[in-house]
Structure 1
Amino acid sequence: MRPFISRRSRQRGAGHPAWVSAVTAAALTVLIGGLPNLPAHGAAAMAAPNLQLPFPCGQQWRLDTWGHAPGLDMVKEPDQQGTEGATLSAPAAGTVNKSYYHDNAGNVIQINHGGGYFTTYLHLQSRAVNVGATVQQGAVIGRVGRTGPTSNNHPHLHFELGYDANGNGEASWGFAGAERVKPTFNGVSYGSANNQTYRNVTSRNCGGSVDLGVLDFYLSDDQNATGSTRPVFSYGNSPMLPITGDWDGDGKDTVSTYDPTSSRFFISN
């Protein structure tokens, strides 16, 4: 990208030291290069939501742009088994502004994340949220499916991040020239060009606490446990061991959980 040089600067350029032009060009390159995927409204890009992959923590998914970058089609790794019916989780907090059945795209959800940014989900098997619902990151919003003729009867999630450039309160999607922009999950950007594949992308949509309302509770028969039995929580296929500690330094212990399969702590707020 050529740095912007005003007409007056061009007219007087011969009188400036060479290093001035070099420093100016370098500075502009850093400024421009440091803001990837900048929408037309410039500084508004700084308000982009901090997205995580729209699936439960620890799952791995394959992301493909095919012919509609920066839109992404997502199927479950390693062999797409479990894609149909997979849990769809909100990648960031927001408010549902669309939840309906589209003639071509099937079940569709769109979430307003603020700052002009929206995420859109197509071909869903089912929708678990209605228009106006407020969701937190990690909340279940639906199930992955193959609804709508443009799914080609192949289970997958078509995902788009959009920026409301015209200010009409939504983001257009699904066609070349729509308001879709490159999404960033867990700090990594995807969807730069058509026909790109990203393998084994791991969801870090883990939230800040364990929601005991969605965990299965049972008693362990671990003979090495203290006492006859100890409570253990199950999160997916992973056992969650309860632990206590003063995690925030307030002088009070908080009951939290530890996932021994991934060496991760889940600390309740």
Structure 2
Amino acid sequence: MTALALAATGTITIEVANPAEAHAAGARPGFQLPFPCGESWRLSTYPGHDNYDVDMIATSGTTAGRSILAADAGTVSFAGWSDGGGWYVKLNHGGGWESLYLHMVSAPVVSTGQSVSQGQLLGKVGSTGNSSGPHLHHEQRRDGTKVETYYNGVRSEITTDGYPSGEPQSPPVVAVSANCGNVSVYGTLSDGRLTYSAIESGTGRRLKTVTSTAKLGFTPVAMATLNFNTILFTSSAGDLYRVDVITNNTSLSYNAPVKIKSGGWTHTNLSFDGAGNLYGLNSAGHLLRYDVTAAKPAAGNVVNGTDIGGGFVLKTFTTAGPDWILATAADGRLLSYKINGVGSWSPGELKSSTWQGMTHLLSPGAGTIFGRTGNGALHRYGDRNPYDRSGDDLFGLGTVDDSGWTQTLLSAQPF
């Protein structure tokens, strides 16, 4: 991928991924789990199933009636009824690739010949046709042949039903949906300008980067993206600022920064978990949490500052979901914490080494992780179950860019 070329001039820089880097014909589409962003599902098979067939049941709550989304963009090649599959949809993704969604509770909400985007609603989970209970039967095919399913670039590991050969059937796995749309990443340059980058969630391709002409007017120390057009910053003077983005489409512009807190904000790291909680880390290793009660907070909307506890000696820091912290230590460990309350957290070590080269860590949630290295490369990782405090299901998903990420701060918008 072409590296970011963030010009040092005052002109707006616009870059779009090279069209030649798009998937070649026949390459695997960027399939995602066919459910809304952040939902957790159990993937399994059973004797007598065909190899590579996957049955999906929600890990919590009721499975019946859940939304079924397109795993990737495509054209509806069939939407209707079959005695075995009940109400179902088949999508054609081009290059010989298809995906199937069986046993819907009622007729699909899409029709044959219709174009759909990744994440578009196809129907609801049911138990029609040859089914013993509510679930989604999902298949991915290439040139008419079933193949192992992939989600967010990660193998499902559902490969064999164990019948009739007698070999052990694939054990169940838990996966969290990253069918969330594109990843939005804001950053700051050393001269005080802002950047915005869009990364395709299914493939990890950087789609564009735009850079502002305006400069912040203060020295930023930490940043947290609240939503698509609202960012919080701490400054070297210990103040808390809000920046309201006007546009980040073909240019990046924003209103003058608003100081919403004066003094005392000495956090070296900030991150927003997408569920109303702003986490900060100070130089003494204390983790603090605040309630953010408005999409564009004023002073009275960043409240209830709570010292969770000390001993958080971390090199990089981000939130990975509601009350979940992801961090690296100077010795290369990748760490995960479930924050339970004051003085209470559940730690986990995802990796015992090799992450010391990361200068920035950011996550929009749903098991998607980005790490920037000292040479300006941005790498992408997936965690099949980001809430198990285990690195056994952590996977490398390739490099977004080999170089060019020269931002002094980076922050991803929570899904």
TM-score normalised by L of structure 1: 0.59
* One-letter code aligned to 2:160: A
For 2:146 and 2:131, locate their aligned partners in 1 and report how far apart those are by CA, in whole Å.
Answer: 19
CA contact (8 A) 1:55 1:87 kept: yes
Residue aligning to 2:116:
135
Displacement of 1:241: 8.6
Q: Which structure: greater helix fraction?
A: 1
Following superposition of structure 1 onto structure 2, how do residues 88-237 of structure 1 map, counting pairs within 5 Å?
88-126=68-106, 127-148=108-129, 150-152=130-132, 154-164=133-143, 171=144, 179-190=145-156, 191-194=158-161, 195-208=169-182
Q: Which residue of 1 aligns with 2:274?
A: 259
Check conservation: 2:25, 2:94, Cα contact below 8 A.
no
Counterpart amino acid of 2:159? S
Q: 1:69 aligns with which of 36, 51, 55?
A: 51
Q: In structure 1, the residue corresponding to 2:137 is in which secondary structure?
A: strand
Matched-pair contact (CA < 8 Å) for 1:258–1:266: no
One-letter amino acid of the structure 1 residue matched with residue 53 of structure 2: G
Distance 1:204 1:135, change over 3 A: same
Distance of aligned partners of 1:209 and 1:188 in 2 relative to their CA distance in 1, 3 Å threshold: closer
Task: Check whether the contact 1:208–1:267 (CA below 8 A) recurs between aligned residues.
Answer: no
Confirm or deny: 8 A CA contact 1:208 1:266 kept in the other structure: no
Number of matched pairs: 178
Are residues 247 and 198 of structure 1, via their aligned partners in 2, closer, same or farther at CA, if it must alter by over 3 Å? farther
Cα distance in structure 2, aligned partners of 1:249 and 1:136: 22
- SS in structure 2 opposite 1:197? coil
Unaligned runs of at least 5 residues, structure 1 = 1-42, 165-170, 172-178, 211-238
Contact 1:106 1:122 in 2 (8 A): yes
Q: Find 2:28's aligned residue among 23, 33, 48.
A: 48
Residues 185 and 61 of structure 1, relative CA distance in 2, 3 Å threshold: same
More strand by share: 2
Against the structure 1 CA distance between its residues 196 and 98, is the aligned structure 2 distance closer, same or farther, given a 3 Å change threshold? Answer: same
Q: Which range moves more in the overlay, 195-204 or 49-58? A: 195-204
Counterpart code for 1:186: N
1:138 aligned partner, one-letter code: G
In 2 relative to 1, CA 162–203 (structure 1 residues): closer, same or farther, beyond 3 Å? same
Q: Whose RCO is larger (CA < 8 A, sep 6+)?
A: 1
Partner Cα separation in structure 2 for residue 253 and residue 197 of structure 1: 50
- CA shift at 1:258, angstroms? 7.5
Q: 1:139 to 1:209 in 2, by over 3 A?
A: farther
Q: Quick one: percent identity of the two aligned structures?
A: 34
Q: Is this contact kept in 1: 2:75–2:113, CA < 8 A?
A: yes
Deviations 1:56-97 (A, max 9, x none): 00000000022322010000004xx32100000111000000
Residue 188 of structure 1 deviates from its aligned partner by 1.2
Q: CA deviation at 1:196?
A: 2.0
What do residues 127-160 of structure 1 show as CA deviations (whole Å, max 9, x unaligned)? Answer: 1100011111111111010001x212x0000000
Q: Is the 8 A contact 1:241 1:258 kept in 2?
A: no
Counterpart residue identity of residue 260, structure 1: A
CA shift, 1:105, in A, is 1.5
SS of 2:253's equivalent in the other structure is coil
- Distance in 2 (CA, whole Å) between partners of 1:200 and 1:76 is 9
What do you get for the CA RMSD once the two structures are aligned?
A: 3.1
Task: Give the distance between the partners of 1:58 and 1:100, measured in 2 at CA.
Answer: 28
